[in-house]
Amino acid sequence: MNRTAFPVDGFNLYHSLTAASIPLGGRGTKWLDLRALCRSYLHIIGGGAELAGIHYFSALAKHLEATKPDVTRRHQSFITCLEATGVTVSLSRFKRKSTRCEACGARLERHEEKETDVAIASTLFELFHLAACDTAVILSGDSDLAPAVRTVQRMFGGARVLFAFPYGRKSKELAQLAPGSFQMTKENYARHQLPDPFVAPNGDVTNKPPAW
């Protein structure tokens, strides 16, 4: 048995899902059945891989509500479905950051997602420290996670960490760091979508947001 956990970089995956809809003729893939998607890759991981948990990390973009009033409502609907399928959800935050334009000197305000990388790294350490998995497959192409993976590999001898690179987001550095990693495809996104409407085990009904 190879207990396999999947830490998921929510925004890295979201941007991949958005990009995937273009070559699919605009067919949306954001209503993703994350649990079914992860299970579909267990045969690639090998060693009798069995699902040991999915940990989804993201943040609600509340700063966009002034121009996109339903942005957090759509995301929250998706999170509700993920939790109903047994996915563990951890939400961080966006922090406002003031910068100055180098060209004109104007003061610019933007928002950065904070804490997600640290949360993924912390969960990775926790999984191996508690011997809660034999393999961790990180769904992300963000090379900022490389230091955490190197440390886990050093501290936990035999710890197997792989990356499932979202469509269009492969990192050469991470591929070299974690041999055996693989690329997810837009077609597999399309094959693993939640039903619309989604009916939770307790009977609650959630409708797929438009254009998702």
Give the confidence band of 66 by pLDDT, cuts at 50, 70, 90: low
Give the angle 17-22-27 at the CA atoms, nearest 5°: 75
Structure tokens at 8: 């998921």
178-207: per-residue pLDDT in tens?
999 999 999 999 999 999 999 999 999 999
Does 108 have pLDDT greater than 90? Answer: no
Q: Residues near 196 by Cβ (< 8 Å), separated by ≥ 6?
A: 31, 207, 208
Look at residues 39, 34, 45, 41 and name the one whose alpha carbon lies nearest to residue 134. Answer: 45
Does 67 have pLDDT greater than 80? Answer: no
Map the chain to HEC letters: CEEEEEEEEHHHHHHHHHHHCCCCCCCCCCCECHHHHHHHCHHHHCCCEEEEEEEEEECCCHHHCCCCCCHHHHHHHHHHHHHHCCCEEEECEEEEEEEECCCCCCEEEEEEEECHHHHHHHHHHHHHHCCCCCEEEEECCCHHHHHHHHHHHHHCCCCEEEEEECCCCCCHHHHHHCCCCEECCHHHHHHCECCCCEECCCCCEECCCCCC
Domains of the chain as residue ranges with CATH: 2-206 (3.40.50.1010)
pLDDT, averaged across the chain: 90
Give the confidence band of 55 by pLDDT, cuts at 50, 70, 90: very high
- Whether the model clears a pTM of 0.85, i.e. scores above it, the answer is yes
- Would you say 195 and 78 are in contact if contact means Cβ atoms under 8 Å apart? no
Does 111 have pLDDT greater than 80? Answer: no
